[in-house]
Structure 1
Amino acid sequence: MGKGCKACRGLRHPGACKAYALVYKILPMMPPALTHDTLLSALRDGLGARHVLTEPDDLAPYLVESRKLFTGSALAVLRPGSTEEVAFAVRACTQAGIAVVPLGGNTGLTGAGIPQGGVVLSLERMNRLRALDPVDSTITVEAGMILSEVQDAAERAGLLFPLSYASRGSARIGGGIATNAGGIAVLAYGNARDLVLGLEVVLADGRVWNGLKALRKDNAGYDLKQLFIGSEGTLGIVTAAVLKLFPRPRSTSVAFVGLDSARAALDLFVDLRARMDRDLTAFEYLPPFALEIVLRHVPSTVRPLSGDHGAYALIEISSARPDADTRAELEAALGAALEAGIIADATIAASGAQNAALWSLREGVPEAQTREGASIKHDVSVPLSKLPEFLERAGAACLAAMPGLRPCGFGHFGDGNIHFNLTQPAALDRAAFLAEWGRFNRIVHDIVHELGGSIAAEHGVGLIKRDELAYYGDPVGLDLMRRVKAALDPADLMNPGKVLPGRDRTPPALA
């Protein structure tokens, strides 16, 4: 291996580094104030012309948020194919004073990947599996690798990468790390933050921090990777990661349960947690309205229970033990809960196909909501003990503000994260309903704040919650975040305008 690369500041390469030539030979010949044409010409030289997109039709797919709430603008879309090319592109844009907005699979729900000028830096070509070590139980992947492909690579090795959510077939792992994604397995395995051992990050000045360590214990100073996980690309660009793998479950069972209320759901969760411990992989909550619209709009779904109930829970337990019989364990636990009056009814899947069928009732909720009408969405968390109170109070307050509204609070009950979405009244115009988003933010977020919760649970802040964070965030905490941003990105060119709000703490406009 050669000496540490001057362009990458620490990376070692077996041969000549392309980034060295690009950064130290091309860029110094440029004038201090680069024109857009000069910058684009240099980028085409460094990345290849076909990886610098400037035509409107080519740009369009990169400029619209997945829910179409935000549409951005950009000088170009860059598609680097290596860490060295990312470093080159960032240095070139920094010299030109051009903002850089990193983008993964564009599956985000807060507008964090939408550019407001500058360039989009897509990681789609950086999609390689660098290493998989069954002994260390780690996988090292580039940021552009699709989440489902990471899962598949782990499965081929007889292991499990547990991070999973509905967009896993198109979301890229770098975006999941940049937003600290959660999903359906947080209860047992944690958020993305808990699954990352090491990172490789291109900084705002074009240097590369090589923190790709596969260590479970490393107290040699600050844990720098945690700065970048969840930072939504505002501090640097994640280009690769070392991720934790786990033993693949040998037995998995899923049940769908009918309950009287959210308070009964909490009682059931506490009981199952005590019985199952870490084998309790998921505990998802659905109100009656959520099940109703899934059965109406999602093909091939079937009513799981014969009667109607005040609340529902989807429960999964899994175990890697060779002798595990999760179905028998779940049957015994739910039988005891039925005798104790905690639950009203339940069905347990008898096969992998039935497991998937029950999961489709939960995973189909977002699609069903889209088909049912416009939604005002809130991704919030509160302490687990306060979840029933939150659901009751927020539902009542929103109905009082708009009779005919259809609240749909569903999601990751076991870790306190609820997607508290509001579906438009059947008789109300879509645009008129969505114009009330700010008013319902105040109603819902005030209750979340009072209960000691967070207005941004697993989807992040992005654009849509930036001003809300200014109002609800702790002033000292916000000041610390601004100091970190100023230290790592003094020119404010890394995904500017996202996450960090201004210093005005007046309530955001209600319209």
Structure 2
Amino acid sequence: MNDRKYEIIEHLTAMLGASGVLHESGDCERYRRDWAGHELGAPLAVVRPKNTEEVAQVVGFCHEHRVCMVPQGGHTGLVKGALPDSRYPEVVISLERMTRIRHIDPLNFSMAVDSGCILEQVKRVAEEHDCFFPLSLGAQGSCQIGGNIATNAGGVNVLRYGMMRELVLGMEVVLPNGEIWNGMQALHKDNRGYNLQQLFLGSEGTLGIVTGAVLKLSPRPEQSQTALLALPSVEAAVRLYAQARRACSDLLSAFELIPRQCMELAFEASPQLSDPLDTAYPHYVLLELDATGPVDLAGMLEHLLEASMESEVVLDGVLASSGQQADQLWLIRESMVEGQLLRGEHLRTDVSVPISAISRCVEQATAAVSAIEPKATTIAYGHIGDGNLHINVLPPADMAKDQLSHLLGRLETAIFEVVDRCDGSISAEHGIGRSKQEALLARSSETELKLLAGIKAVFDPHHLMGAGRILPSTGEAS
């Protein structure tokens, strides 16, 4: 393999230059792990093309010589989908040097970008043109647009603006044989038969490499209202959401469930934070309203709070009186994820159920975890407005490492069984990757698997791109 490896590296270096190809173990180290600390194999090489044509050259070479490859974005995935494989060598194709804003059209509310653009950069450029790109994630300072598309990213604004699937007007993709499909039209309506770009949204780099995208923008909100509200239960949060949808209509942009345990985790991760309320409560909701134009947002929110407190759905709350105070409230939401990381290895899930089943799902999942390990801590938080829950479990602090993996596997199985009973999904926004492949296959019908395999075979019959992600690999590993 060594002779073949160095021959491949020589060819790739001839295409991209020395700065475009990394192959020494030290240089490749950061491409071996993701934000969550997962690490699998070592890449055959890491290539860093600067444009679509270079991506096509690399992919065409890999296709011709049957070299496996995996596209990689900002290392923020949570299902091990972009990590190089440990079973066979893969070329990692990093899009990190493709950061060009190609064009912005404020009249059409659209922006064309390279797929390596960082989400935060895209949001900032949109605002400079009095527009708004609504995708909002905790990882927006490092995640890339191509990765957002490949995983069909969600985030906190889904209930108003939709997932990434609703935020892309067009795209450009390098197919697994090196051909370029150019679908970079900035059309808000296009009904010409099969919608090819929707196949690539959520495909996790298994059908092609997204190199460019036309993004759908919205008017920049001129006013915003943010509130942190205390509630007695998850059921109360669901009832409050129904009230808020009716009272605030489509101006409700975010509605996040936060249990008390998550507040404590946020304070651990960010000691500068202080409790916004004088009393601790079992659950909280962080909600936000946004509007453009002469809308009385403050009056709308005040009316909602009066009605919900009168019915004792809401027990207490705080309204942000400035943008800085709103940022502090949102920092709680971001820091609680960091707080979980500080506790060490733990179970993360990303499930969805019908909104009306959220309370039942949380209750049954918590009971299922306690039955397996009474000393474990279950924390259920997430996006109430789209039914997306993160039912995570912190294991006992004194548990031996050799027991931990087995326990987390049992807990995940138990939680997924609860989700099944609620007619839900095991993946709401993180994707399948490698981590959830077994669970996906167990829940897919023979007809569904046949269709999925057929799509993969059309685009990548040799299973060279993203092999072993979503579906098992049956192709030709190098």
Please say whether Structure 1 and Structure 2 have the same fold, judged by a TM-score greater than 0.5.
yes
The answer to whether the 8 A contact 2:269-2:336 is kept is no
Residue 31 of structure 2 corresponds to 62
Task: Kindly state the Cα deviation for residue 70 of structure 1 after the two structures are TM-superposed.
Answer: 2.8
Residue 28 of structure 1 corresponds to none
Moved over 6 A (4+): none
Deviates more, 1:446-455 or 1:425-434: 425-434
Gaps of 5+ in 1: 1-33, 504-511
1:463 equivalenced with 2:463 (yes/no) = no
Whole-angstrom CA distance in 1 between matches of 2:383 and 2:100: 31
The answer to whether the 8 A contact 1:467-1:501 is kept is no
1:147 equivalenced with 2:119 (yes/no) = yes
Highest CA radius of gyration, 1 or 2? 1
Whole-angstrom CA distance in 2 between matches of 1:344 and 1:84: 58
1:270-289 paired onto structure 2 within 5 Å: 270-289=242-261
The answer to whether the 8 A contact 1:110-1:460 is kept is yes
Residue 444 of structure 1 corresponds to 415
Whole-angstrom CA distance in 2 between matches of 1:100 and 1:221: 31
Residue 128 of structure 2 corresponds to 156
Whole-angstrom CA distance in 1 between matches of 2:280 and 2:5: 62
The answer to whether the 8 A contact 1:376-1:437 is kept is yes
Deviates more, 1:469-478 or 1:376-385: 469-478
Q: Identify if the C-alpha distance between structure 1 residues 270 and 471 changes in structure 2 by more than 3 Å, giving closer, same or farther.
A: same
The answer to whether the 8 A contact 1:115-1:495 is kept is no
Task: Kindly state the Cα deviation for residue 425 of structure 1 after the two structures are TM-superposed.
Answer: 1.9
What one-letter code is carried by the residue in structure 2 that aligns with 1:456?
S
What one-letter code is carried by the residue in structure 2 that aligns with 1:168?
Q
Q: 1:498 aligns with which of 466, 469, 472?
A: 469
After superposition, the CA RMSD in angstroms is 1.4
Alignment TM-score, normalising by the size of structure 2? 0.96
Task: Kindly state the Cα deviation for residue 44 of structure 1 after the two structures are TM-superposed.
Answer: 1.3
1:123-142 paired onto structure 2 within 5 Å: 123-142=95-114
Residue 203 of structure 2 corresponds to 231
Percent of matched pairs sharing the same residue = 41
SS of the residue corresponding to residue 13 of structure 2 reads: helix
Residue 57 of structure 2 corresponds to 88
Task: Kindly state the Cα deviation for residue 428 of structure 1 after the two structures are TM-superposed.
Answer: 2.6
Alignment TM-score, normalising by the size of structure 1? 0.90
Whole-angstrom CA distance in 1 between matches of 2:284 and 2:143: 28
Q: Identify if the C-alpha distance between structure 1 residues 342 and 112 changes in structure 2 by more than 3 Å, giving closer, same or farther.
A: same
Higher relative contact order (CA 8 A, sep 6+): 2
Whole-angstrom CA distance in 2 between matches of 1:120 and 1:426: 36
1:83-482 paired onto structure 2 within 5 Å: 83-116=52-85, 117-321=89-293, 323-482=294-453
Q: 1:52 aligns with which of 11, 17, 21?
A: 21
The answer to whether the 8 A contact 1:212-1:241 is kept is yes
The answer to whether the 8 A contact 1:200-1:212 is kept is yes
Deviates more, 1:229-238 or 1:69-78: 69-78
Whole-angstrom CA distance in 2 between matches of 1:479 and 1:253: 48
The answer to whether the 8 A contact 2:206-2:466 is kept is yes
Whole-angstrom CA distance in 2 between matches of 1:434 and 1:67: 15
What one-letter code is carried by the residue in structure 2 that aligns with 1:130?
R
SS of the residue corresponding to residue 375 of structure 1 reads: coil
Whole-angstrom CA distance in 2 between matches of 1:101 and 1:415: 31
Number of residue-to-residue matches in the alignment:
469
Whole-angstrom CA distance in 1 between matches of 2:23 and 2:340: 35
Q: What are the Cα deviations for residues 332-382 of structure 1, in whole angstroms up to 9, with x where unaligned?
A: 211111012211111111000110111111111111112234321111111
Whole-angstrom CA distance in 2 between matches of 1:411 and 1:301: 20
Task: Kindly state the Cα deviation for residue 219 of structure 1 after the two structures are TM-superposed.
Answer: 1.0
The answer to whether the 8 A contact 1:373-1:424 is kept is no
What one-letter code is carried by the residue in structure 2 that aligns with 1:383?
P
Q: Identify if the C-alpha distance between structure 1 residues 151 and 456 changes in structure 2 by more than 3 Å, giving closer, same or farther.
A: same
The answer to whether the 8 A contact 1:252-1:319 is kept is yes
